[in-house]
Amino acid sequence: EAGVTQFPSHSVIEKGQTVTLRCDPISGHDNLYWYRRVMGKEIKFLLHFVKESKQDESGMPNNRFLAERTGGTYSTLKVQPAELEDSGVYFCASSLRGKASPLHFGNGTRLTVT
Amino acid sequence: AQSVTQLGSHVSVSEGALVLLRCNYSSSVPPYLFWYVQYPNQGLQLLLKYTSAATLVKGINGFEAEFKKSETSFHLTKPSAHMSDAAEYFCAVTPNRDDKIIFGKGTRLHILP
């Protein structure tokens, strides 16, 4: 079984530019989550999809962040325009429906905004 | 709101010694609790989870955790540390009515030869 894959693994962009992160969840996993870890701080929840619908986007920092999940398969997270404080590691995770199903994480995308 | 607190951002133990990583949770209802591990340049991997079936939970790689309601704790232990256990460990909680998982700040475990 293929795991959760994220692309790119690293991205370095300048302030004001746009970046799009992609996540391919495990096939059949309806739940898809985005998390972010800023250097030295905790892993923070950004949003949760159930299939193609946004179940909870309470963690999205501001309207510069846009997440989509086309057809309930892969997901993208776009940051436009990027700011310095957006730097960090963005993790995607997926899980089956059902209470406390474990999350399967991708290796993350390390975003550096200069 | 649900939350977890991990005591100690860095813990060092000698190879072969007991590993104890502390986690306390805050929850108004019985929670689901998890321990995840992150090795360098990898994603998070589930070590074990508590879902109210048994208070002592055994996980992978010889780790286990005990749910103590009276202490609101879910500490992670391993009897004998290996060099390969060096990693960052995260305690996490799922609110009862939500699938969102909330993570602690993480504890980096260092193994001394």
Whether the predicted pLDDT of B97 surpasses 60: no
Query: How high is the pLDDT of residue B103?
Result: 92
Query: How high is the pLDDT of residue B98?
Result: 55
**Which residue reads 């290796």 in tokens?**
A107
A101 CB contacts (<8 Å, ≥6 apart)? A31, A95, B99
CB atoms within 10 A of CB A54: 13
> What ranges in chain B are assigned the alpha helix state H?
none
Contact A97, A50 (CB under 8 A): yes
A7-36 pLDDT, tens digit per residue, is: 999 999 999 999 999 999 999 999 999 999
Which of A37, A59, A41, A45 is CA-nearest to residue A111?
A: A37
CB-based contact, B43 to chain A, within 8 Å? yes
Query: How high is the pLDDT of residue A100?
Result: 64
Joined tokens for residue B5: 């607190």
Q: Sheet holding B73-78: strands in order across?
A: B3-7, B19-26, B73-78, B64-68, B56-58
Q: How does residue A99 score in pLDDT terms, banded at 50, 70 and 90?
A: low
A43-78 pLDDT, tens digit per residue, is: 999 999 999 999 999 999 999 999 999 888 999 999
Q: Measured between CB atoms, which of A41, A48, A106 is closest to B100? A: A48
CB-based contact, A26 to chain B, within 8 Å? no
